[in-house]
Every structure is written in C-alpha cells, then in structure tokens.
Amino acid sequence: MKKLAIFGATGSIGVQTLKAIELYPERFSVFALTANKNYKLLLELCKKYKPQYVALADGNASKEFKKNIPKGTKLIEGDDCLEIIAALNGYDTAVMAQVGISGLLPTVCAIKSGKKIALANKEVLVTAGSIIKKLLKDNNSEIFPIDSEHSAIWQSLRAGNKNEVSSIVLTASGGPFYGYNKNQLDAVTASDALKHPTWNMGKKITIDSATLMNKGFEIAEASFLFDLPENKIKVTVHRESIIHSMVNFVDGNTVAALAKPDMSVPILYALSYPERLKGYTDNLEFDKIQKLTFLSVDSENFPCIEICREGLRKGKSALAAINAANEIAVDSFLNQKIKFTDIPKIISDSFKNFSDIDLNTAEEVLSLDKEVRKFALSLI
C-alpha cells in the first residue's frame, strides 16, 4: 500500500490524482490533503477520502474548515502547517500539486524526511533545481514527474542509455494565441488567455501556457530532472498535444510517448512506476487522428522561452528571479492591471536586476523571491 500526502488537493492536478487512485484502493491510500483557501472542497474531499491529516495554508480558511472538521481527521494549523505535514512519518510519497513557489518548502521537508516526490509543481525545480537535486541525493529520495512532457521523456529514456541520448524534444501546444502578431497579442484579455486549446488546468499554468513561459519552465525542469544542458533541449509546437515529448538517440532513432491529452495518464504512471496500471483513458486511434503537425516557436512574439533559456544558462538566482517576476506578472494580468504583452517585459526587467546572486538553501530562494516580487510590483 502506497500512502500519499497530496499538496494542492483542491486543484486541477490534486482532484485528478484523487480520482485516479480511486481505481486502486488496494494500492493507494490518502494520508494527508492540503489546500490554500478552498475549505469547502477540502471538506468534501475529506468526507470522501478520509485522510488522517489536513492543512490549509490560509489561516481564515483553516478556521472555517475547523468548524465542520470530519471525525477522524486532524487539522494542522499555523504558518508552517504544510511543512509539518510534509515531515510527518506515516506516508511514502508526496504528490506536489500546489501552484507556484508555495510548493518549495513542503517539497524540501518531504525530501528531508525521506519521502518520494510525485512532482507536478515545476516551479520547485525552476526556482531551486540545484538545491533540490542535492537534497534528493543526500536523502536517497527521488522525483517522479507528473508534468506530461517530462513523463513522456522519462518513459522514452527507458529505451536507451543516458550516453546514447543526443537531445530531447519537448512538445508545446502553442497555447490559445499561436500565430498571433504583436498587435493581436496587445489586445488579448485574461478570459481569452484562459481558453487553452487542449488542456483544462489551473489559471496560473494556463496563462503560462499562453505566454509560453510554461515551456520555458519545462526546459529548466527537464534540465534538472534529466541532467541535460540547455542546448540539448529542443521545443517544437505540436498543436494536437498527442506526442507528449521525444528523445533523440545518437543512432538516429527518436522515441516518443503518445497518449490522449489527459493528465490522469502521467499522474497514474508517476504513482505506479515502474508498473503500468489501466486508468480511465483508452489508447489513441491513429486512423481517426490521421495527421500530426509540427511547427516552429515564434520567439519574437513569445519571448518567454528565450528568457528561461538565458536564465538556465546563467544559473545562480536567474531562474528564481524569473519565476518570482512571472508570478507577479501573471497575477497582475489576471487582475487586468497589465496587458498580456507586458508580462515578458516585467520579467526581463526584474531578471536583469536579480540574476547573479548565489542561492544555496530554499530559505535563500524564498528571500530572493520576496525581493523580486517587490521590484516587479514596483513596475506595475
């Protein structure tokens, strides 16, 4: 029996994780669930999945939850409630499905207490990739990727040895604005950006997909997960989201993982690895798909991928600065304070000022994150 603590249980990935493990009650059990503010959904989830522990990062939501706390569930309160849950004994794998840098400390605590990590929250690796890698090694822990591209690479890598890999290719849907020019992008609204062509996800990652920042982050995520330099990670736009990513081997072969665009597939693989379990999704019917297309990235109108590539090459605090500025910019765009095309500008300006600082601990990452947020807010 694998016991899970699901961080960000009320989100898109969290809810899909719970639904996926429902199929295998003899294999998976729910030890803990966490959320930020959505105490009503967390209450429902508690009634259904009966976790031993819960926590809500938001103090007021935690108080509301407490009024109706189900029997048998213990609520952990306080500013460090998520870290306390992460460090508890009694579970095996932390499913990290919180959004943004809020996932960093719980991930660190889970690794330090010897847990495995099923990782959806890419911002953890973007902001603190080298720190996390060292912690994994020191604590004999492992990350199992949930992000669909990284799941595809992870699966494809099983076809050869590491020294036989010549490069990897991440596929990108291109988001809702693929093919738009500068003037069109200047005019798009948050509600336009929230209509993703192939995936139904939380708001922040949906905006990141529209700016292609999500793909930039995924380059960094792949670099840390698979130990590859930036120049060996290519991106191609593949509107259908059928091929989830590919590995090019030195002998001219390319191995890819294909599936319907349904996150329950990589979620279940991350939790069942090295086995495969039948989930909700059937295999593809290729004669119905007929054709798969590949296009180039428009780096001029969508500069975020290049900003991330530069950040990854620079190292040090560059990617943490990019992430912090991006979180502020995305939030401001969602609240209609800035235009879509202001997002990369705010990130570039912030990143230039904060890219050369040594970061050795998660606490240092968080303190830089605070400073960059202040700076980025001053630009809005």
Are 341 and 299 in contact by the 8 Å Cβ rule? The answer is no
From ligand NDP, Mg ion, none, interface partner of 37 (C-beta below 5 to 8 A by class): ligand NDP
H-type alpha helices, 233-361: 264-272, 286-289, 304-314, 318-334, 342-353
How many CB atoms are closer than 10 A to CB 351? 26
Closest distance between ligand NDP and the C-beta of residue 124, in Å? Answer: 8
Site string for Mg ion, 148-167 (x = CB under 5 A): xx------------------
* Cα–Cα distances in angstroms (integers) from residue 168 to residues 33, 110, 154, 245, 261, in the given order: 35, 29, 11, 8, 20
Whole-angstrom Cα distance, residue 168 to residue 307? 19
201 binds, among Mg ion, ligand NDP, none (CB under 5 to 8 A by kind): ligand NDP
The Cα–Cα gap between 350 and 20 comes to 40
Comparing CB distances to ligand NDP, the nearer of 204 and 215 is 204
Which position has the token pair 């708001």?
203
User: Which of Mg ion, ligand NDP, none has residue 149 at its interface (CB below 5 to 8 Å by kind)?
Assistant: Mg ion
Helices (H) and strands (E) in the chain, counts: 17, 11
Least Å distance between CB 199 and ligand NDP? Answer: 5
CA 323 centroid distance within chain: 12
- The least CB distance from residue 205 to Mg ion, in Å, is 8
Whichever of 15 and 159 has its CB closer to ligand NDP, that residue is 15
- List of residues contacting ligand NDP (CB under 6 A): 8-14, 35-38, 57, 97-99, 102, 120-123, 147, 199, 201-205, 263
To 5 degrees, how large is the angle CA 189–CA 191–CA 194? 115
Q: Work out whether 123 is an interface residue with Mg ion (CB under 5 A).
A: no
Q: Which option in ligand NDP, Mg ion, none does residue 97 bind, with CB closer than 5 to 8 A by kind?
A: ligand NDP
Residue number, 81 or 321, with CB nearest to ligand NDP = 81
Choose between 17 and 73: whose C-beta lies nearer to Mg ion.
Answer: 17
Question: Which one, 107 or 148, has the nearer CB to Mg ion?
Answer: 148
* Residue 281, number of CB atoms within 10 A of its CB: 14
DSSP of 266-302: HHHHHHHTTS----S-PPP-HHHH-----B---TTT-
**Collapsed DSSP state (helix, strand, coil) of residue 121:** coil
**Cβ atoms 322, 306 nearer than 8 A:** no
Q: Which stretch binds Mg ion (CB under 5 A): 20-28, 68-76, 105-113, 143-151?
A: 143-151
Smallest distance from Mg ion to CB 147, Å: 4
Partner interacting with residue 265 (select from ligand NDP, Mg ion, none; CB below 5-8 Å by kind): none
Smallest gap from residue 57 Cβ to ligand NDP (A): 4
Rank residues 349 and 373 by Cβ distance to ligand NDP and give the closer one: 373
Measured between alpha carbons, how far is 195 from 325 in angstroms, rounded to an integer?
23
Among 123, 147, 208, 331, binds Mg ion (CB under 5 A): 147
Which residues pair with residue 254 across a beta bridge?
A: 248
Q: Residue 162 CB, nearest distance to ligand NDP (Å)?
A: 24
Minimum gap (Å) between residue 358 Cβ and ligand NDP: 25
Q: Is 327 in the site for Mg ion (CB under 5 A)?
A: no
Contacts of 157 (CB under 8 A, 6+ apart): 165, 226, 247
Nearer to Mg ion by C-beta: 123 or 147? 147
Cβ distance to Mg ion smaller for residue 16 or 148: 148
Q: Which residues bind Mg ion (CB under 5 A)?
A: 147-149
